[in-house]
Structure 1
Amino acid sequence: MTVHSQGAATSAPQDAPMKSAAAPPEAPVSGSDRGRTSPRGARRSLPSGWLPYLLIGPAVLSLAVLLLYPLIKNVILSFQDINKIEFIQRKYPFAGFGNYTELLGDANFWTVVVRSFGFTLANVALIMVLGSLIGILLNKLGTKMRLVLSMALVMAWAMPIVASVQVFKWLFDEQFGVMNWLMRTAGFAGYEQHNWMETGLSTLVIVTILVVWGSIPFVALNMYAGLTTVGAELYEAARMDGANGWQTFWKIVFPNLKPFFLVTTFLEVIWVFKAFTQVYAMNKGGPDRASEILPVFAYVEGQSQAHYGLAAAISVLTIVILVVVMSFYFRLILKQEEEQ
């Protein structure tokens, strides 16, 4: 008999056990049982080390199918002597290094190489200078004018290349071109039906204007984004020290945005060096193949001249030249990262 604090009595069962029955001890787990799967119905997880490879697997497979396989086939083709007759007869005679020997001993090939480097250098220099200036202008403008200029840059950047080429061909047309009309209006003689693409140099100048016009937005918008990361106190300190705009750029802006200039210049070199569409769509590398750069030279040799093995060798040499040039630039970028 037990009595609660309120005085009520309750009886406890006399046969209640004094303690609960002890649970049976668990069997020891052997080393072989630790690696077994969980009970039926549970999902077995993959090792954590495989997850990154599974995530990048589809991308690697796509690159291998779309880029690596054609590259390997192109390298094999560069060692074969395939022209129009061999292509029709489905004969693929092995030529060894004959295509490469012929190219390296051809003066026209080296002329195209020099032209390609000059074209790339002129375009990249203009793109970086003008794009940086417009980026600085975006940083100085008010909100409304910045929005208007940014929209104009985005529309120029988003315009398809073939459509922009057609616009430029109309601007420089012999009979109905705007440039001839402007020159006549300004009082210059000899522009009634002036052919702006009469020479290879003049054609490349027009292509350069087109490439620079289409590439400036990328540099300008990225330059503006980089300038927003530079603290206002740095400009204020430079202003108090009496620095002018040019000194402020070289002492404040350029050191802080040096990685931007390195990476952007690297990308522009690649994009301009392989600018095929603009050159070919403007005048098909003419007149008399005088405006060809390496990608156009390879295409004309392969498709127009039906020298497929030689064209493959040109493309392989183009890749090799670009890799060699970019290797020096990679070293500069890596050195910059080590100094930071």
Structure 2
Amino acid sequence: MAATREPRSLPYLLLLPATAVLALVLGYPLARLGVISFQDYGLRSLFTGRVGWAGPDNYLAVWRDPQLVPVLLRTAGFCAALVLGTLAIGLVVAMMMMRLGPRLRRAVTLCLIASWAMPPAAGTLVWQWLFQPVYGVANWALSRIGLFGDLTQHDWTTSPTSAFALVWLLVVWQSVPFVALTLYAGLSQIPRSYYEAAALDGAGGWTAFRVITLPFLRPILALVTILSVIWDFNVFTQIWILTQGGPNQGTTTLGIWSFTKAFSSNSFGQGAAVAVVSILLLLVLTLYYLRRLLRSGEEL
């Protein structure tokens, strides 16, 4: 008796419910955002309900804004620093977990999961309390160490450099658990016999890491890099709660700039235009990394 073949359309039918949910949850807001970016949507439109058509004027206004280039450079630099810091620390933590015993490994895993599970807003408020002038625990501890002098009265948000460092520490702390656990899962799948053979051939730790570990982790590293770029490019909650884009717009990224354009300047059309530009830039970066990920998968 011949085996019955499944219809070719079955996989697409199985994906249809998820596609419909994504189209409803993400598709409509994105389409609405695109429409608003071409409208003269301001505070008056909220009260009158009448919206004029601005065409490309919102995009031209954003293009001519002198803040555009500094904001783009600041966003790209901050995103790169976050991604590099997260991947480096996450890889170190993952390799450390490989050398721990079962009990210590479970304890570290629970700590990582607890840190990752904390909502960004709650974690940011805790961070704000830790680095608060006069009463902050971090300021008190650093002052007790004495390497940097008396930091009891120090406000970390008074300069762009220290404010970005504060946000960087927070975002990396919140992002490392996912990267570390993902890389640990990849490291645990590498056969130990490869390292034993390399040791017999006289390979040191760095050589084994470069020849064995990195090639095996390359697809996973590419995946977590894509996810980290998406998350870190869109960092908003941490920056807004800690600095609100200050001081003197020194920590204003694209997400903060879009928000202030829309709600502080009451120019919702320009805010939507900035958001569309952010989405397009992120889409280009994501497609580039996906292409590299697919190529690395074909090579393996």
Q: Pick the TM interval, shorter chain.
A: over 0.9
Give 5+ residue unaligned stretches, structure 1. 1-46
- Pairs within 5 Å for 1:277-296: 277-296=237-256
Distance of 1:335 and 1:56 partners within structure 2: 25
Q: How far off is 1:329 after superposition?
A: 1.7
Distance of 2:202 and 2:9 partners within structure 1: 58
**2:263 — aligned with what?**
303
Q: Which moved more, 1:247-256 or 1:78-87?
A: 78-87
**1:143 — aligned with what?**
102
Q: Which moved more, 1:143-152 or 1:83-92?
A: 83-92
Q: How far off is 1:50 after superposition?
A: 5.0
Q: How far off is 1:55 after superposition?
A: 2.8
1:173-210 CA distance string (max 9 Å, x none): 01201222123223344524111110222211111101
- Pairs within 5 Å for 1:158-307: 158-187=117-146, 188-307=148-267
Q: Which one has the bigger helix percentage? A: 2
Q: Percent identity?
A: 36
Q: Counterpart of 2:202 in structure 1: which amino acid?
A: G
SS at match of 1:107: coil
**2:3 — aligned with what?**
none
Equivalenced residue count is 294
Distance of 1:191 and 1:172 partners within structure 2: 10
Q: TM-score, structure 1 length as denominator?
A: 0.82
Distance of 2:85 and 2:274 partners within structure 1: 28
Distance of 1:120 and 1:318 partners within structure 2: 13
TM-aligned CA distance change 1:166 to 1:260, over 3 Å:
same
Distance of 1:233 and 1:337 partners within structure 2: 23
Give 5+ residue unaligned stretches, structure 2. 1-5
Q: Which moved more, 1:288-297 or 1:108-117?
A: 288-297
TM-aligned CA distance change 1:133 to 1:183, over 3 Å:
closer
Counterpart check, 1:318 vs 2:281: no
**1:28 — aligned with what?**
none
Q: Counterpart of 1:105 in structure 2: which amino acid?
A: R
Q: Which moved more, 1:264-273 or 1:52-61?
A: 52-61
Misfit runs of 4+, over 3 Å: 47-54, 187-190
**CA RMSD of superposed structures (Å):** 1.6
**2:70 — aligned with what?**
111
Q: How far off is 1:238 after superposition?
A: 1.1
